[in-house]
Amino acid sequence: MKAFYRKKIINGIEYIYKIQPYYDSTLKKTRQESTYVGKLVDGVIKKVREFNTKDVLSYGEFLPIMKIINQYQIDKFLVKELGERSANTVIALSLGRLIRGISLQNTENWYTGTWLYRQTRDLPLSPSSISRLLSKIGESRIQDKLSSHLIRQLKSKRTILYDITSISSYSELMKLLEWGYNRDQLDLPQINLSVILDKEEGIPLGYEIYPGSISDVVTLKNTIKKIKIQGVKNFTIVLDRGFFSISNLDILLNNNTDFIMAVPDERYKSAQSLINSLSAEIEKPKYLKQYCDEIIFVKDVEIIIGNHKLNGYCYFNPKRAQQEKDSFYKRLFDIQEKLKNLKISPNIQAKIEEITGNLKNYFSVHISQNQIEVEIKEKAVSRRLNKKGLFIIVINGDYSWDSCLSNYREKELIERSFNILKNDLELSTPNVQKDSTLKGLMFICLIALIIRMKIMSILKEKNLIKSYSFESLMITLEKFKAIILDNGKVIFNELTKNQRLLLEAFDAVPKL
């Protein structure tokens, strides 16, 4: 194949490379081999002395990340609040956590091999320096200022997703740690972490940390107050069914807060009665709808809970109902088989209780001298299955059935954010000893979470989410390196087709 020459402009200087195409029999496609020829001076190629490579730095993965940091002006905010050196340290700690998932103590080893090091140089990343910085951040209320900063950049009408989770710790010195309802089922003292997330942007706006014994009612009340103080006057809060209670309804309605919230029908007789009455009639053509290629049935409903008359929608998803029925029958069958295979023993009753668990009301178990007889209660099962696929969402505000369902389904964003915090960003059972240090660590993780969730939002928007996870995106882009020569010049290896495609999605293709 015939060779040709390619010109590359680096820092205003034109360099010439000889490109030799060749056929790669392993990959079964044509590839190119690049050879440096010289630089172009007055139209003439002049060979210059070769410079040796001094360093190779990770570069490509920072392009979409810094684009997002600049978009939300997080860097300017941090400089204003912390000063330039501490601001750069916070960004380095956050990105080490985000890109590599490394502990803060190992950030320095990673940082010196990245483009950040060339931009900021010699940040204070020793364990003692990091500890002091985290404590300083934790003793301030910088997370509130960041929330206000982000909210000011967004539109006035917001849909706010809200949830709360538990973070457990082995520390004996943290005053915030208290015993309470542990959502991770860990036998440890805990703190409660509440997070608000902006549905439209797909990013967290802020968080609050509470002692482990503080109830959800108190956290919800404080969150609504805080959202309003930070300048959001017109918002809708989307809550999971776990927040549904008369006390929380009182708070939401007394504050004239628009909300979308699922009803746990098993806890309220009026909800149970409504579900039972609808199970026989909802599957009628007049209630038939289509949502995201799914066939569902929807009916407007009114329901009285306590002193409140609430409007909402009852949804029935036939496909989901069948899946739930299949799953329920399988659980019943497995339990029945285990019970039949039990051997008579002095502690037989305890074993039965252990096996049946929260499904014990669906079984009739008779123990004789020689055998165990097990029956599944048909009427109890029938009542349970009648409700499968049916659920009620109540609203305060003007929402159509589809906008209500869409907003409620987006609560998965906040569940995903908790998973990222606890797994990818390692915030579960943190190994810190002081309240202020934990608060500082949470702030570092918040910045990492904002960037990660915005990246995933853009991948989804650009229809790239099926091909790229966050991890595969980072792996693809980190191969785009910055090469530092011993004369101080910087050159970059060529962008591949996939790298360019990804960077174009973030409007982050570098001008080299």
Residues 145-168: b if buried by 16+ CB within 10 A, e if exposed: ebbbbbbeeeeeebbbbbbbbbbb
Average confidence (pLDDT) over 339-367: 87
Question: Crossing angle of helices 435-461/470-477, nearest 10°?
Answer: 80
Report residue 254 as tokens: 């007394």
The amino acid sitting at 135 is S
Question: Residue 432 pLDDT > 60, yes or no?
Answer: no
d(CA 501, CA 252): 45
d(CA 145, CA 151): 10
Average confidence (pLDDT) over 103-127: 89
What pLDDT was estimated at residue 313? 95
**Which pLDDT tens digit goes with each residue over 298-337?**
999 999 998 999 999 999 988 888 888 888 899 999 999 9
DSSP letters for 32-96? EEEEEEEEEETTEEE------EEEEEE-TTHHHHHHHHHHTTHHHHHHHHH-HHHHHHHHHHHHI
User: What is the CA angle 120-126-127, rounded to 5?
Assistant: 135
Average confidence (pLDDT) over 494-506: 93
Average confidence (pLDDT) over 290-300: 87
Q: Provide the sign of the torsion angle of the four alpha carbons 167, 171, 174, 175, taken in this order.
A: positive
Question: Residue 221 pLDDT > 70, yes or no?
Answer: yes
What pLDDT was estimated at residue 177? 41
What pLDDT was estimated at residue 72? 94
Instruction: Tell me the sheet residues that pair with 260.
Output: 238, 395
**Which pLDDT tens digit goes with each residue over 251-276?**
999 988 899 999 987 788 888 888 88
- pLDDT band per the 50, 70, 90 thresholds, residue 178: very low
d(CA 230, CA 195): 15
Residue 41 exposed, middle or buried by CB count within 10 Å (0-12, 13-18, 19+): exposed
Direct distance between the N- and C-terminal alpha carbons of the chain, in angstroms, rounded to an integer: 28
Q: How many residues does the chain have?
A: 512
How does strand 234-239 pair with strand 258-262? parallel
Of the listed ranges 10-14, 398-402, 476-480, the least confidently predicted one is 10-14
**Which pLDDT tens digit goes with each residue over 376-423?**
998 888 877 777 778 899 999 988 999 898 888 877 777 777 777 766
What pLDDT was estimated at residue 37? 79
- CA–CA distances in Å: residue 45 to residues 1, 19, 51: 23, 15, 17
Question: Residue 87 pLDDT > 60, yes or no?
Answer: yes
What pLDDT was estimated at residue 39? 79
User: What is the CA angle 106-107-113, rounded to 5?
Assistant: 110
